[in-house]
Structures are given as C-alpha cells and as structure tokens.
Amino acid sequence: MVEKEKIELEFSVNSSPGVLFFRLSDPSGLQEWFADKVTLNNNIFTFTWSDSTEQAQIIDQKEAVFIKLKWLGIENKNCYLEFKIQIQELTEETALIITDFAEPNDKQSTIEIWEKQVSELRNVLGVG
C-alpha cells in the first residue's frame, strides 16, 4: 500500500464564518458545491457523484470553525478531510483551509480538483 501524503490548501473566501460553515457541514450546503447528492444520518455523510458514492463520518467539529471527516473504507486511520475556517488577523478576511490526503502520483490532480471545487463554492457564496 502506498502511503498517502498530507495536502493543506488555503483559499481566501469572502464570506462570514457562519454562512461558510453551513456550506461545509450541512447536507444541503455541501450539495450546492461538493457532490451531486448529500445525506447525513447518525453523523455519517453519504456523498453521491454521477459515477460513485462515498461515506464519511464526522469525527470532530466546532460551529463556524471546523469540521473533520473520516472517509469510511479507507485503511489508513491517519487520513481525514478537514475544512477549517480562519480569520486572517491583518486583513480580517476569511480563509478556508482544506486538509486532505493523496497518493504521491495523485497529489497534483487532487489539488486541481480542490481548486475547481472551491471555485464552485465561491460561486455559490456569490463571491466568485
């Protein structure tokens, strides 16, 4: 098994933390930009795209600050997906920090996918 590498990406998102957190933690908010269909049952999200379905369990969260998910069915217990909201001290802009993991040969495509997804999120928020 190839060890996955941690990827941490930071994006400026001109949105209030509360509005942004809704889009990161609520099934209807996630469905607007992340997956075609999203459901939540007993702290487990089911994400459906046109060609696949994945599940992730909420392992930790703090309202308007972060949500951390563990993909079910992935053997590496150290891999997770985290959306973190941070207010930049000097500019007071809202930043979205995404932590994900990818195999070394998939790292660049994973980054490109996140850039595309965050662009869609910005459009949904009206800040694109």
CATH of the domain at 94: 3.30.530.20
Q: Model-level pTM?
A: 0.93
Q: How many domains does the chain have?
A: 1
pLDDT score for 88: 87
Per-10-residue mean pLDDT, the chain, length 128? 88 94 98 97 96 95 97 82 94 94 94 97 90
pLDDT score for 1: 60
**Domain of 60?**
5-125
pLDDT score for 26: 98
What is the rounded CA–CA span in Å between residue 10 and residue 97?
4
pLDDT score for 32: 97
